[in-house]
Chains A and B, each alone.
Chain A
């Protein structure tokens, strides 16, 4: 029917060929034309008509030729548009039908050329082969890494335990084992088959009040929510990459630390001291390393860039500053004490300065008065800060006097300061003899001119201290002496072959003849210059045993990752003297064992994969069983308590169902 429909419009639409055929139609046509011309007589242009001669070609043929020219292929929807005269309902149905037809018009593609087709086939075949070869990977891997392979490999022959074997191996339990088993079984904490909870758990559940339980649950939920919020927050904060933010965080942390320290100094003096020591250690470490000295690879690279980039320059400076902060011993109570006097005046006016000074006080919270005046005391040793309070107060006083002598100009301040210190000392007397009680108060006031002075003093002092500390041990001289000794030892010596008294008239004790000395003293060739001639701080040992080096391994052999590994292998003896018999055999078993006269066949695919298949099937069935159990657990967890304890039957039923579905599959 659909086909009919398609043909029909084509006939209608294909010009007036049909009409031209029959005479009557021609007449009608002419008549129409006439009428048309009459209609258009009112001045409008007449439509020029093309003359067509009537041809005597059968109707169908014309249609076919015209359609086959295909320069103007007519689409079916175009045809539909010409069908306006018919009722809309009909058009609707037609449209629907057309859509259907168009939808199902599956046109076969042109077949590929032969070479292309073959190529496609080859690729498909190869990929298939590749895929199927994948299954060999574990087997090959196993064979490659096996410690020992006994040929012929027994591929097939899966051995099942027969009942007889099982009976033969079966052993009854001993009395002790029986007792233990009985005790274990009687325990309340045993999980019984077919139930999810142990007896003990059930008891607890039954005893628990519902409301209480709810409350607990809610509490738990709240806690969890809080934790998760906190975690989310931490996570978010952790991901912030802004340097500014990081700096702020760091500062915050420092402040916090400072506060903690203060608190510590008040509450736990012991811990505070420990902390002080720790800081001191850190300072020492910093001084001994080059970490913030801008000598690292990073710093070197940055330094090149620093010419052009201010940011980089800042980074570098920051590093240096950090190093300085860590290494210098700035927070000297004495200097800070000095500053104290200006404290009251400037505190309100210069806030930033206050902050800076505060920071410094954090960095090195060594608030103990250092022994600036008593230079014979080693600064390395003064870190033991527990001094008797009276002594300490004396010390402070002495310092104050000293500083007053150095800066005699402001005597008013001096008085104030004295008062202050006295106050403090009195405070300290009551507590524990250390001025750490209010470090921020003491360290608040910087006075620039003074500070510089003090710093220069400090550095001098520091050098002096170092010299004093190493006054006794002259390391350099010792080293040089040692080197000279070694050089002397290694220098080839002349050999004296002369025998005292030999060839002389007199006996021994007579001075040796010069000529003889020359004759019998064998001078060796001068040794090549030592490698450490120009390296004054190094001793290179040039006496290596060449004979033993012949036997030594020079490079790390291939499979080993490091020297320790290789050495451990070498150090493991294999012989009977060091290993028990079984270990001896195990250690020395060859990689491949094959027996003479026994044929070794290539791997048998069927054997291997049949076996694997079997084991897989077993596993699958086991897995299924587990799965069902799990499912059961999940489902049952939603069920009420009563059903929890006797869901045997439902479980069995479900299992059966599963099996059935499997079979169907």
Chain B
């Protein structure tokens, strides 16, 4: 007599999932590729439908936003400095401004939070370095009068040290009013200095003579200097790969370098149509966000040459600063029209609670999209973006310019003695020299 164990098919409670018996016989499930292709097509369409990256704008500044800083321990806190010398502390989760400090006379050039998150530093056009406690914003706990204007500040990821840039790059101890060390190498002014988050003693600065200089806090001299074709406005270190940094350049491109091989960047990231102003890595190190003077924010995969996504709104003006939050979910941009904007890092990602089954389905959809990503129809849907008019036209214009330049070069090469015009790769073209 046949009998079944009721435990196999009877649910214990009403909400329990019904056990499903599956038969994996391929004859019962024909046309797997065709069916999955359809699913992928649907998934990619759904993704575009749900791509709503903009979350909110945080307004309140009375002048254009100059700098942004993430809080090192609290995800919800965000600090922003504006051109009128105000620093605002935002609670992003509640979308409110927690505190407004009139910190400096003139621009606030840079803000950085110390690693334990109890205080932060700010520098301004008034040649002051100010240390603020997170408990009491009325007066700074310390003020240092510098000899020159500071353009940026960054804190060491472990030690009680910070670095400022200006006429030179200086390394400061938290306890002292004089810099521990000042590095100078040719350039008369430095735009930005950034500490390496992994190899914490290494730091790099963008100088205004189009160069990027590497330093080590343990050394008395800088390490190396490369000069690019155009000025780099800032750089960002990869938080997962100790020797990789990406610079935002004024020739509309971003360049990724391996600091051991500075002869050429190992990747060029193109897509912006105006000078790139700021760049910040995702904490996973796999992607980075860049803000440009062309009023768009773009997200690049760190190993790809073109952007994965572009964010823009009608009202957003030139971007001056971008940040990727430490939970890898959001991107924040600050722009000239006095607003901070909060974006989703993945435009179509669902926020809020996702149940297990839904998560599995989403993962399946993602896998399908990736699997069929080379198929023309799916590729087209996944890649198509509506661009602002000026970006669209500028893009086309740049394309024709690039093509014509290439053509000119090819013609020149074809009509001259073989070998007289050597082929120089695009990557090595941008490096003018590497100084030792």
Which A-B residue pairs are the 8 nearest by beta carbons? Answer: A602-B197, A602-B239, A600-B283, A573-B32, A557-B374, A594-B328, A588-B367, A126-B223
Is B202 located at the chain interface by the 8 A CB criterion? yes
Q: How far is the CA of A121 from the CA of B221 in the complex (A)?
A: 7
B363 contacts A571, CB within 8 Å? no
**With A130-B260, A599-B327: A122-B221 Cβ-Cβ less than 8 Å:** yes
Selected from B26, B224, B327, B377, the residue in CB contact (under 8 A) with A126 is: B224
B363 contacts A597, CB within 8 Å? no
Q: Which residue of B lies closest to A577 (CB)?
A: B29
Q: How far is the CA of A587 from the CA of B366 in the complex (A)?
A: 11
Is B6 located at the chain interface by the 8 A CB criterion? no
Residues of A with C-beta under 8 A to B375: 551-553
Q: How far is the CA of A603 from the CA of B241 in the complex (A)?
A: 8
B239 contacts A597, CB within 8 Å? no
B366 contacts A590, CB within 8 Å? yes
Residues of B with C-beta under 8 A to A472: none
B213-233 at interface with A (beta carbon < 8 Å): 214, 216, 219-224
Is A578 located at the chain interface by the 8 A CB criterion? yes
Residues of A with C-beta under 8 A to B73: 599
Q: How far is the CA of A571 from the CA of B372 in the complex (A)?
A: 11
B436 contacts A602, CB within 8 Å? no
**With A122-B436, A553-B376, A597-B327: A602-B283 Cβ-Cβ less than 8 Å:** yes
Is A119 located at the chain interface by the 8 A CB criterion? yes
B363 contacts A590, CB within 8 Å? yes
Is B390 located at the chain interface by the 8 A CB criterion? no
Q: How far is the CA of A571 from the CA of B36 in the complex (A)?
A: 10
Residues of B with C-beta under 8 A to A577: 22, 24, 29, 32
- What are 19 A-B residue pairs whose CB atoms fall within 8 Å in the complex? A129-B214, A136-B198, A136-B241, A552-B375, A552-B376, A553-B375, A566-B374, A570-B371, A573-B33, A574-B367, A575-B32, A577-B22, A587-B367, A590-B367, A594-B329, A597-B75, A601-B239, A601-B326, A605-B198
Selected from B202, B327, B360, B371, the residue in CB contact (under 8 A) with A569 is: B371
A553 contacts B374, CB within 8 Å? yes
Selected from B35, B75, B240, B327, the residue in CB contact (under 8 A) with A143 is: B240
B36 contacts A594, CB within 8 Å? no
A601-640 at interface with B (beta carbon < 8 Å): 601-605
A290-312 at interface with B (beta carbon < 8 Å): none
Residues of B with C-beta under 8 A to A133: 199, 242-243, 259-260
B221 contacts A118, CB within 8 Å? yes
Q: Which residue of B lies closest to A132 (CB)?
A: B199
B368 contacts A599, CB within 8 Å? no
Residues of A with C-beta under 8 A to B199: 132-133, 136, 605
B33 contacts A136, CB within 8 Å? no
Is B52 located at the chain interface by the 8 A CB criterion? no
Q: Which residue of A lies closest to B74 (CB)?
A: A599
Is A585 located at the chain interface by the 8 A CB criterion? yes
B278-334 at interface with A (beta carbon < 8 Å): 283-286, 303, 326-329
Q: How far is the CA of A130 from the CA of B29 in the complex (A)?
A: 56
Residues of B with C-beta under 8 A to A594: 283-284, 327-329
Beyond A126-B223, A553-B375, 4 additional pairs, beta carbon < 8 A:
A569-B371, A592-B284, A595-B327, A600-B328
**With A133-B243, A140-B241: A121-B220 Cβ-Cβ less than 8 Å:** yes
Seen from chain B, the residues whose Cβ lies within 8 Å of a Cβ on chain A are 22, 24, 26, 29, 32-33, 35-37, 39, 73, 75, 157, 197-200, 202, 214, 216, 219-224, 239-243, 259-260, 283-286, 303, 326-329, 351, 360, 363-364, 366-368, 371-372, 374-377, 436
Q: How far is the CA of A143 from the CA of B244 in the complex (A)?
A: 14
Residues of B with C-beta under 8 A to A588: 360, 363-364, 366-367
Residues of A with C-beta under 8 A to B243: 133, 136, 140
Q: How far is the CA of A596 from the CA of B75 in the complex (A)?
A: 10
A125 contacts B223, CB within 8 Å? yes
Is A423 located at the chain interface by the 8 A CB criterion? no
Residues of B with C-beta under 8 A to A553: 374-376
Is A38 located at the chain interface by the 8 A CB criterion? no
**With A136-B243, A571-B33, A588-B367: A600-B39 Cβ-Cβ less than 8 Å:** no
B29 contacts A578, CB within 8 Å? yes
B39 contacts A570, CB within 8 Å? no
Minimum Cβ distance to chain A for residue B368 (Å): 6
Is A79 located at the chain interface by the 8 A CB criterion? no
Minimum Cβ distance to chain B for residue A551 (Å): 6
Q: Which residue of A lies closest to B261 (CB)?
A: A130
A573 contacts B36, CB within 8 Å? yes
Q: How far is the CA of A589 from the CA of B285 in the complex (A)?
A: 19
Minimum Cβ distance to chain A for residue B172 (Å): 21
Q: How far is the CA of A574 from the CA of B243 in the complex (A)?
A: 36
Q: How far is the CA of A602 from the CA of B194 in the complex (A)?
A: 14
Is A123 located at the chain interface by the 8 A CB criterion? yes
B216 contacts A125, CB within 8 Å? yes
Minimum Cβ distance to chain A for residue B16 (Å): 17
Residues of B with C-beta under 8 A to A600: 239, 283-284, 326-328
A575 contacts B436, CB within 8 Å? no
Q: How far is the CA of A118 from the CA of B220 in the complex (A)?
A: 9
Q: Which residue of B lies closest to A579 (CB)?
A: B24
Residues of A with C-beta under 8 A to B327: 594-600
**With A125-B219, A592-B286, A598-B327: A574-B364 Cβ-Cβ less than 8 Å:** yes
Is A149 located at the chain interface by the 8 A CB criterion? yes
Residues of A with C-beta under 8 A to B240: 140, 143, 602-603
Q: How far is the CA of A134 from the CA of B377 in the complex (A)?
A: 43
A151 contacts B328, CB within 8 Å? yes
Q: How far is the CA of A602 from the CA of B115 in the complex (A)?
A: 12
Minimum Cβ distance to chain A for residue B144 (Å): 27
Is A388 located at the chain interface by the 8 A CB criterion? no
Selected from A151, A552, A589, A597, the residue in CB contact (under 8 A) with B283 is: A151
Residues of B with C-beta under 8 A to A589: 363
Q: Which residue of A lies closest to B302 (CB)?
A: A144
Q: How far is the CA of A136 from the CA of B200 in the complex (A)?
A: 14
Is A554 located at the chain interface by the 8 A CB criterion? yes
Q: Which residue of B lies closest to A153 (CB)?
A: B240
**With A129-B223, A574-B36, A590-B363: A554-B284 Cβ-Cβ less than 8 Å:** no
Selected from A125, A129, A574, the residue in CB contact (under 8 A) with B368 is: A574
Q: Give the residue among A121, A597, A599, A604 with the most B Cβ atoms within 10 A.
A: A599
Q: How far is the CA of A591 from the CA of B284 in the complex (A)?
A: 11
B242 contacts A140, CB within 8 Å? yes
Minimum Cβ distance to chain B for residue A370 (Å): 57
Is A156 located at the chain interface by the 8 A CB criterion? no
**With A599-B75, A600-B326: A136-B242 Cβ-Cβ less than 8 Å:** yes
Is A501 located at the chain interface by the 8 A CB criterion? no
